[in-house]
Amino acid sequence: MTEPLDWTGLLQGRRSHRSFQDSAPTRQDIAALIQEARWAPSGGNRQPWAVTAVSPARTRALLDRWQDRLWTWVLPSYVGLLAERRPEMTQAQLWDFAQEKVAQAGSVLGSPWLLLVHQVGGGDQTRHHLDNTPVDRRSPDFDTRIERAVSLTENVGRCSVGIFAQHLHLGASARGWGSCLQWQWVMLQEELQAEGVLTPGLSLACGVTVGHAAEVPSTPARSPVNVSWVD
């Protein structure tokens, strides 16, 4: 009989690490992590994901060149999020608080791997398949349903890629590694293509840094999930 996994411990023990050691997991270890994450569920089992794995040395160079600028770009969004959680603060206080937090814990230290996760296929692929539907198989509202199907496929694809990224996090945590979701890399897609890091035509969804953690972050606060029960 298979022993049950410590699922609760894995979920509650995972942390977002921003401080990594310079000694990182091997390429073979990262390859194994990525292949294990493919067991993430996806709509229609399309598995609409691909990964560009950036070596620790190249990741460190990218962080040194782009990290400060990325925070400058995303800071307004962070301030907006804080405004929802801290309505008692003035705008000036929110900006000061956000800048202080970024200075304290916003920078990624050390040399982790950077796994750039892409969405493959999606609405255009669905449209192509539906356009090839024989005329005698088309319902009277076929054109309208095409638009709905294209939109649905795109949204389900994004959700599936997000679950795949979460599997990367959980797999790293199960190995005792650190990881952090780095969504702001999406803002650098064109620059990363120009530098030869990304292949043109890929749809970048997020970045995930993975490596040997240099420190254990404090336990973050988590709000209860709002649940609506239907009997």
What secondary structure letter does DSSP report for 223?
Answer: P
pTM passes above 0.85: no
Beta strands 203-211 and 178-182 are antiparallel
Domains of the chain: 19-67+108-211 (3.40.109.10)
For residue 60, give the nearest of 22, 93, 88, 103 by alpha carbon: 22
Q: Can you give the pLDDT of all 231 residues of the chain as single tens digits?
A: 455 568 888 888 888 899 999 999 999 999 999 999 999 998 888 899 999 999 999 999 999 999 888 888 878 887 888 888 888 988 898 888 888 877 776 789 999 999 999 998 755 556 666 666 777 766 777 777 767 766 666 677 888 999 999 999 999 999 999 999 998 899 999 999 999 999 888 889 999 999 999 988 888 888 899 999 999
